[in-house]
């Protein structure tokens, strides 16, 4: 357990190296846009947004891979991500306490969320693979405790070449921290977020300054960094969430499950995922554009049919 004196023992244990953490991987599937693409001059695009209504909603399959303090914590993150309604496909769990995903495995998906509690099975290889994945255009969300500078940190190129949005640091906890200063209220990661409470422990890493290319999105209520993103330095997008992903439903004292931690995670995954801009049908211009594409596609098919008949 993480309470009282027994918690202190577990706290020391979590600092020991060579135990893995947690990773969350996202694979986009969008049947609506797939249908649209069949009616739009065969452009063959796959995007991650439903455009009907005022709020975009991603359609995705998600893999949570990791080895937290308690294996049931993975089930909690799984349930919270699925419960946002932003994932239409499966939300699976992979325990990586004794294995490290390959680049090929990551490239089956569009985004990865990773976090730590014990040490990674192979922090150097995992860090190299994550960096390669981002270099190939994949999106990554990184969360606590993987911003640690030692013990349970990520290694390889990820750390050596500043893929972290912040410089690494130590670990801290404060009672019931909440969402504090917001620097970029229009950032999609904050879409629909009305409250966030880190719980009576409010775990976070005492990170250093932003790495080159990264920008702050929001802080904790005590001024510690909470959310930052890097969309300019690498081929893929990176988001940093400086809180521990399992909720109070997994263990009392973690982020309060009635607040919007799950939405922050789901929004972050959507933010880093490669998305294709498509006109929204709730605007006249968007309706006209999609209607034009559909009409053009129909005309194209008719012309093809006509030419075939002439032959």
Question: How far lies 161's CA from each of 151, 158, 283, in Å?
Answer: 19, 6, 43
Helices 72-83, 261-272: crossing angle, 10 deg rounding: 70
pLDDT of 281 > 70? The answer is no
Q: Return d(Cα 247, Cα 80) in angstroms, integer.
A: 8
Beta bridge mates, 62: 26, 91
48-88-273 Cα angle (round to 5): 30
Helix (H, G, I), strand (E, B) or coil at 219: strand
pLDDT in tens, 129-143: 999 999 998 889 999
Condensed to tens digits (0 to 9), the pLDDT of residues 231-280 reads 999 999 999 999 999 999 999 999 999 999 999 999 998 898 865 333 34
Summary mean pLDDT of the chain? 75
Query: pLDDT grade, residue 21 (50/70/90)?
Result: very low
> According to the model, what pLDDT value does residue 111 have?
84
Q: How far apart are CA 304 and CA 88, in angstroms?
A: 35
pLDDT for 170 beyond 90: yes
290 pLDDT more than 90: no
| Choice between 183 and 22, residue whose per-residue pLDDT is larger | 183
Question: Residue 5: which pLDDT band, with cuts at 50, 70 and 90?
Answer: very low
CA angle at residue 94 from 88 to 95, to 5 degrees? 150
Pairing of strands 203-206, 170-173: antiparallel
Quick: pLDDT tens for 36-54.
Answer: 233 322 222 222 333 223 3
DSSP 190: G
Flag whether pLDDT at 186 surpasses 90.
Answer: yes
Tell me if 21 sits within 8 A of 67, measured CB to CB: yes
Question: Residues 292-309: pLDDT tens digits?
Answer: 444 443 443 344 344 434
Alpha helices (runs of H) in 86-122, residue ranges in sequence order = 103-106
pLDDT of residue 45: 24
* Gap between the Cα atoms of 54 and 191, Å rounded: 11
Per-residue pLDDT at 274: 63
Of residues 273 and 198, the one with the higher pLDDT is: 198
- 160-169, 186-195, 278-287: which has the minimum mean pLDDT? 278-287
Q: Return the pLDDT at 60.
A: 64
Q: What is the pLDDT at residue 17?
A: 35
Supply the Cα-derived Rg of the chain in whole angstroms.
Answer: 21
How far is the C-alpha of 60 from the C-alpha of 52, rounded, in Å?
Answer: 17
pLDDT above 90 as % of the chain: 46
- Reply yes or no on whether the pLDDT at 9 is more than 90: no
pLDDT over threshold 50, residue 287 = no
Which of the four pLDDT bands, split at 50, 70 and 90, describes residue 97? confident
pLDDT tens-digit readout, 57-94: 445 676 777 768 888 998 899 899 888 988 776 778 77
């Amino acid at each position: 357990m993480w309470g009282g004196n027994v918690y202190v023992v577990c706290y020391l244990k979590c600092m020991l190296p060579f135990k893995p953490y947690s990773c969350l991987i996202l694979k986009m599937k969008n049947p609506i846009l797939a249908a649209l693409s069949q009616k739009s001059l065969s452009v063959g695009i796959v995007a991650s947004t439903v455009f009907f209504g005022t709020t975009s909603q991603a359609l995705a399959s998600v893999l949570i891979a990791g080895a937290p303090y308690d294996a049931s914590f993975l089930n909690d993150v799984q349930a919270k991500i699925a419960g946002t309604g932003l994932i239409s496909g499966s939300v699976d769990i992979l325990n990586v306490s004794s294995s490290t995903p390959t680049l090929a495995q990551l490239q089956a998906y569009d985004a990865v969320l990773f976090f730590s509690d014990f040490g990674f099975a192979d922090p150097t290889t995992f860090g190299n693979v994550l960096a390669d994945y981002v270099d190939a255009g994949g999106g990554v969300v990184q969360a606590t405790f993987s911003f640690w500078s030692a013990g349970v940190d990520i290694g390889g190129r990820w750390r050596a070449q500043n893929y972290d949005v912040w410089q690494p640091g130590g670990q801290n906890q404060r009672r019931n921290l909440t969402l504090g200063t917001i620097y970029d209220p229009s950032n999609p990661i904050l879409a629909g977020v009305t409250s966030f409470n880190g719980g009576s422990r409010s775990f976070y890493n005492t990170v250093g300054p932003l790495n080159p290319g990264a920008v702050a999105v929001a802080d904790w209520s005590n001024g510690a960094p909470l959310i930052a993103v890097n969309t300019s330095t690498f081929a893929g997008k990176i988001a940093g969430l400086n809180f521990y992903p399992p909720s109070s439903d997994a263990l009392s004292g973690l982020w309060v499950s009635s607040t919007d931690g799950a939405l922050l995670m789901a929004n972050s995954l959507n933010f880093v995922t490669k998305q294709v801009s498509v006109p929204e049908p709730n605007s006249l211009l968007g309706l006209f554009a999609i209607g034009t594409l559909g009409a053009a596609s129909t005309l194209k098919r008719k012309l093809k049919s006509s030419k075939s008949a002439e032959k």
